[in-house]
Amino acid sequence: MNIIETQNLTRRFRRTEAVHDLTFSVPEGSVCALLGPNGAGKSTSLRLLMNLLVPTSGSATVLGVDSTRLGERQFAQIGYVAEGQQQPLWMTVRQLLDYCRPFYPTWDGQLEKRLLKQFDLPEDRKLKNLSRGMLMKAALLSSLAYRPKLLVLDEPFSGLDPLVRDEFVGGILETSSLGEWSVVISSHDIDEVERLADHVAVLDRGRLQLSESAESLQARFRRVEVTLDGSMANLTHLPRTWLLAEQNGGLVRFVDTQFNAAATEQACRERFPEAAVVAHPMTLREIFVTLAKAGRSEAKKEAA
Amino acid sequence: MNLIWHIFLKDVRRLQWSILFFIVLLVLPMLTAVLPYPPDGLMEGRGAIVSSVLEVLIISAVSYFLVMSIVGEDTLTNGNEFWRVRPISGLRLFAAKVLLVAALLLVLPLMVSLPWWLGHGYGLGEIGAATKSMLMARVPLVGIALVVAALSGTSGKFVGYSFVLGLGIPAFAAFVAKNPFNLQAISKDMIETRGWVLFSIFCLTMGGVLLNQFLTRRIGRSWLMLGLAAVSMVASSLYWPWEFYSYFKAKSEAEPMASLVVSVTSGKQSRPMSLVEFPLRVAYQVSGLPEPYLVTLRSVTHKIAWPDRKIAGDKKTNLYEGGLTLSERGCIQLLATEKGDSREPQTLTAQLVMPDAKTMERAIHEPAAYHAEISGKAWKPEIVSELPCHGGATSNQRGFGVEIQSVQLLSGARIQVELRQHTPEFLTKDLPLVGARSRVLPTETKLSYAIINRQRGGLLVAAQSDPEHVFSTATVRRFEQQLVFSPRTPAEAPTGDLAAWLKDAVLVTIFVREEEFFKRILETPRLIVTGLPPKQPSK
């Protein structure tokens, strides 16, 4: 079952189309990373999912409910932490927790205490006096203590120093072991997300580039190096699944987005008969960068 | 309900200092009200001014911005707001905010005033009336502030929108009043009808916007509603076709004739009511006349303005032989302006022709029945007068600030009446004397002041002449025992031969509709009427 499903979700801001025809789903229990460069439409997508924005067209369901009808019953099961989200800064950490607690029937006092200790948050300090990292942790704590079925994190790492990032990610990882939940995390910081995500969706200029499990993605993408026998290769008419093909001397490199050892080798042999073919696994970051570069290259071609 | 209360308490905690400041502002006028009188009675007037300024300006402004603080604590226009992704429904938030606004800006002022009311012996009915008056004064302000705050995400926008609204409403009123599309052709009832239509559209839109903002937070829809309302209001003010005001007016209870300056006679023989010996401008407004009734003016230069304004402008007409027959139900406005030598007596007479001889007979010989009869026919006559009179005020006082029973009308002065209200506030009203009757009156002539309305729990006082046939002697006598006139300062006290000032005494009467209320006024020790400085009569 999918905890989030979108169907042709589109949002325009006057002439700018922030999200275009977004169709993807997040399986229940997965940690989904929504990746994309700045301005890709990640935050807008999440805000659409959280009913903070109304779609121009298309629809989305969250926890089985139309996103535009999300109400208090659904938000009692959703935790949302966003970089720009306003917090009641006049409250102390303790007051924030005291204020939030009655709204959530599933609030776990023990978990609250444990997270408070783990995050090392000063209870009596006002939120406005907390550092950025501390503030994010306080927001995360107030969104975790009721064991939400869905945790949505929008750029949670931006502005955090590496140490705090580690703590933050550690907090999520540790808490994720506490129960059945789903996480959607948007970020352009792939290294951090890679430790968390088991499902990946990539957005670029408001369009979905891909959405699948991280395992499948990493199995599907390979950086292929073809060592030629000295002759020049013809890099035209390559398969569309080969991205960023380039030749450097006797070496041809490309990224195969539908890697299959036998099929890829066969395709290489047809084009480079005497060459040696080596395929390297790719990290999420490398896949992301590949897709981003390919997207830009495509855009340039379209513009031309 | 628990969660509503939870949000309520959170806002109280957040705004605790603002609330405390507001409470201080509320209590401050009470302190001025309970201070003892100084010997010359000056404190009463100063207290009134302090109270009024505090109430009208500061408290209103603070109330207005407090609403913004309450709503702005969880704004409705900002998608990043904390509460938006928490299990807090718009309805619950709305309830919490309205509860706090009502508690703070409506209930709290009442609670602060309650000891004052009880201390002055007000009964339940009066407290109810005072509460109603106070709410009537505050609810519109609070309501508008709620709507503006619901549309404003920031204080800057709140101030901006308030500014636009503050300018927009008068601009709209001026636009309508300027009458760019031939408004002359419509009757007064139609004007009233359109006024109610505009009021209804305004209230419905404000309510709709408020609910829309809290329940859906679709601000675009709210602006659309406001835009449609603005267009509808402009269109309705110009083109609304169905008149319904007269229907409701006819059904409504008749207003008593608080002031009536038409003589009652039969046929075309009019009887002068009194003489006018000084420059005079009197506007009579007689509304709700059934069709066959006739109103006649005589011997005056007058300006007649029909409700539909078909006849307008100055006329110098001798109306001995005729009158103005009303061709339709509604009001007739007769504005009479004396011309020529003001030292010469001018006669101003209005004539009322009854539909049958029997009614007329009763009207002439049984004033009480006349009153009842007219009231029963939904008469609503009232004087709208603006008279520079050659009168003045002094008294047969027995000391400063003590009770006196009559005043003398002298040239170049006016009477100012200050009445203590239910609320610890004052209503100060300058009362020009009624010109038609306020010449140098014979000793036996009486001038009365009729309370024709209550404002904010207080009394709006209008003047009326010759009330003998309307008000009972007993009422007048009781009033005489209670009313207090006093000069403002000892220096303003009459000097010389006091008896010379008192040769033309005038009785002052206060009249209210509800007997119980009247009794309460009589028993209220704070009720004062202050005369302005008496001056030497010109020789």
Question: pLDDT at position B309, please?
Answer: 34
Each residue's pLDDT tens digit, B223-246: 999 999 999 988 888 888 887 877
B85/A47 CB distance under 8 A: no
Tell me the nearest-neighbour CA distance from A76 into chain B, angstroms.
Answer: 5
CB contact under 8 A, A85 and B80: yes
Minimal C-alpha gap between A294 and chain B (Å): 33
B181 class by beta-carbon count within 10 Å (0-12 exposed, 13-18 middle, 19+ buried):
exposed
Kindly state whether A24 is in contact with chain B, defined as any CB-CB distance less than 8 angstroms. no
Residue B82 phi, psi (nearest 5):
-55, -45
User: What are the strands, taking DSSP E only, across A168-256?
Assistant: 182-187, 199-204, 207-213, 222-227, 242-248, 251-256
**Which range among A149-163, B83-97, B373-387 has the greatest average pLDDT?**
B83-97
A102: contact with B, CB 8 A cutoff: yes
pLDDT digits (tens, 9 = 90+) for B447-497: 333 332 222 222 223 333 333 322 222 222 222 222 223 333 333 334 444
Instruction: Tell me which residue of A111, A180, A172 sits closest to A137, measured CA to CA.
Output: A172
* Chain B residues close to A82, C-beta within 8 Å: 80
Cα–Cα distances in Å, from B528 out to B163, B395, B468, B486, B525?
Answer: 39, 14, 23, 9, 8
The pLDDT tens digits for B170-186 are 888 887 776 666 555 67
pLDDT digits (tens, 9 = 90+) for B393-404: 222 222 111 122
Task: Give the lowest-confidence range in A47-61, A290-304, B96-110, B293-307.
Answer: B293-307
Say if B80 is an interface residue toward chain A (CB within 8 Å). yes
CB contact under 8 A, A52 and B3: no
State which residue of chain B sits closest to A96, comparing Cα positions.
Answer: B10
**Encoding tokens for residue B331?**
């009001």
Identify all chain A residues contacting B81, using CB atoms and an 8 Å cutoff: 86
DSSP assignment of B448-466: EEEEEE-STTS-EEEEEE-
Name residue B285's beta-bridge partners: B333, B382
A146 Cβ under 8 Å from any chain B Cβ: no
Q: Which residue's structure tokens are 């059934």?
A: B290
Q: Is there a contact between A85 and B85 if contact means CB atoms under 8 Å apart? A: yes
- Would you call A47 and B88 a contact, using CB atoms and an 8 Å cutoff? no
A78 interface with B at CB cutoff 8 Å: yes
Is any Cβ of chain A less than 8 angstroms from the Cβ of B88?
yes
Pick the residue from chain A with its C-alpha nearest to B86.
A75
Name the token pair of B289: 């006349």
Residue A79 token pair? 């935790």
Query: Each residue of B286-324: pLDDT tens digit?
Result: 333 343 333 333 323 333 332 333 333 333 333 322 233
Among chain B residues, the shortest Cα distance to A50 is held by: B85
Q: Please report the pLDDT score of residue B237 as a whole number.
A: 83
Residue B504: which pLDDT band, with cuts at 50, 70 and 90? Answer: very low
Q: Do B87 and A75 touch (CB under 8 A)?
A: yes
Q: CB-CB: which of B10, B80, B218 is closest to A99?
A: B10
Residue A247 has pLDDT above 90, yes or no: no
Q: Span A180-203, mean pLDDT? A: 81
In whole angstroms, what is the distance from residue B513 CA to residue B450 CA? 10
pTM of the model: 0.62
Residue A249 sits at the chain B interface (C-beta within 8 Å): no
A50 near B CB under 8 A: yes
Give residue A174's pLDDT. Answer: 67
Is 0.85 exceeded by the ipTM? Answer: no
A–B CB contacts, 8 A cutoff, strictly below: 50
CA distance B85 to B425: 46
Name the region of B431 (left: φ>0; alpha: ψ -120 to 50; beta: rest): beta
Q: In this predicted structure, what is the pLDDT of residue B54?
A: 61
- Angle between helix axes B108-119 and B16-34 (nearest 10 degrees) is 20
Q: Does B92 touch chain A (CB under 8 A)?
A: yes
Among B14, B81, B86, select the one facing A75 at the smallest CB separation: B86
Decide if B302 contacts B334 (C-beta within 8 A).
yes
